[in-house]
Amino acid sequence: MSDGTQVSQDEKEIHMKHGESGGPEPLTFTHNGEPATINLERFQQQPQAEPLTFTHNGQPATIDLERFKPQPQAEQPAPVEVKRPVAPKPLTFTHNGEPATINLERFQQQPQAEPLTFTHNGQPATVDLERFTRQPKKEIHMKHGEIGAPRNTGDVGVAPVPEVGSVKIVILNGSRQIDQVVPGVGQNGAAGWQTQKVLGENGLPQGIYQLSSANDASKKVHPQQFGGQVLHVDKQNVYQFGPSDGKGKSTVVKHNRKIFDQALDGKEPVVGQCYEVSYARGVGKVKGELSQEEGAKLQNRKVNKI
């Protein structure tokens, strides 16, 4: 050494001993103007390296070897695969001999609603919003409009089954469903309701209307006038909404189809259209079409009570 400082034998061994291949790089530095090396491999296998102490220029010195240990690499989290919802395929079927399609995407299950929490009279309270997002299974079934599906007593909107051939009109979920009592489709082979057609609602109010309970307008001898929408048309009769029953529900009246054929030159009455129909001594006459506003005014007259 150029300054004549004495270096111990152990220190020289530390300085001059090189690491084996594959281990950490030796620590090189200059000591008293001369290159020196410390083999760090001997400290690699220890769980925690002890500080290296030695004497430098007659003073105690320490090298913290912990910082030279290889640091474990943090494991990278596996990428999370995001599953995107797949829209259901449209339901295709044949209706009245023509291809038809129902978009099922709007019937997909909605995400669960979080409860609404608030304070009521100084106490915490919760409202379960999930009950407002649920749809009855029968309503969803009716939306799909399975033509020919038998409907029995106990189903939604189904009262005790009337006689065979009876018809009812179900206006729900944007559709007009025509049901008829058919032999052998009910429980235990009895007569039951069966859907015959599913059509557009044509602006008709929602409800379930039994045509068998419609009032025959020709049976009244007093003057009558009607201006409601046509609910249904068959070969013999035209069914029209009559005045309110006093309980907020519209009545249904039926007219002989012939009076419409005469007034409309054989054209079929339009379901959903308002018509003015008047009676005198049981004889009916169709005067023409009305707007819904005009029909409502005519229906509200006292002469309409039946």
pLDDT digits (tens, 9 = 90+) for 135-179: 554 444 444 444 555 555 555 555 678 889 999 999 998 899 999
Domains of the chain, residue spans: 9-67, 110-208, 214-304
Burial class (CB in 10 A: 0-12, 13-18, 19+), 62: exposed
Q: How confident is the model at residue 20 (pLDDT cuts 50, 70, 90)?
A: very low
User: What is the enclosing helix (H) or strand (E) of 12?
Assistant: helix 9-16
For a pLDDT cut of 70, what percent of the chain falls above it? 65
Residue found under tokens 């019937």: 107
116-120 and 167-172 as β-strands: parallel, antiparallel, unpaired?
A: unpaired
Q: How confident is the model at residue 291 (pLDDT cuts 50, 70, 90)?
A: very high
Q: Angle at the Cα of 178 (from 139 to 284), degrees rounded to 5?
A: 135
Q: How confident is the model at residue 272 (pLDDT cuts 50, 70, 90)?
A: very high
Residue 94 has a pLDDT of 60
- Residue 31 reports pLDDT greater than 60: yes
76: which 2 tokens?
């990278």
Does residue 41 or residue 247 have the better pLDDT? 247
Q: How far apart are the first and last CA of the chain?
A: 129
Q: How confident is the model at residue 79 (pLDDT cuts 50, 70, 90)?
A: confident
Please tell me the distance from the alpha carbon of residue 241 to that of residue 206, in angstroms, as a whole number.
Answer: 12
CB 243 within 8 A of CB 306: yes
**Residue spans of beta strands (DSSP E) within the chain:** 27-31, 34-38, 52-56, 59-63, 91-95, 98-102, 116-120, 123-127, 150-151, 167-172, 175-182, 192-200, 207-210, 215-216, 224-226, 230-233, 237-244, 250-256, 274-280, 283-290
- Residue 188 reports pLDDT greater than 80: yes
Does residue 74 or residue 228 have the better pLDDT? 228
For a pLDDT cut of 90, what percent of the chain falls above it? 35
DSSP helix/strand/coil, 150: strand
CATH no., domain 214-304 = 2.40.50
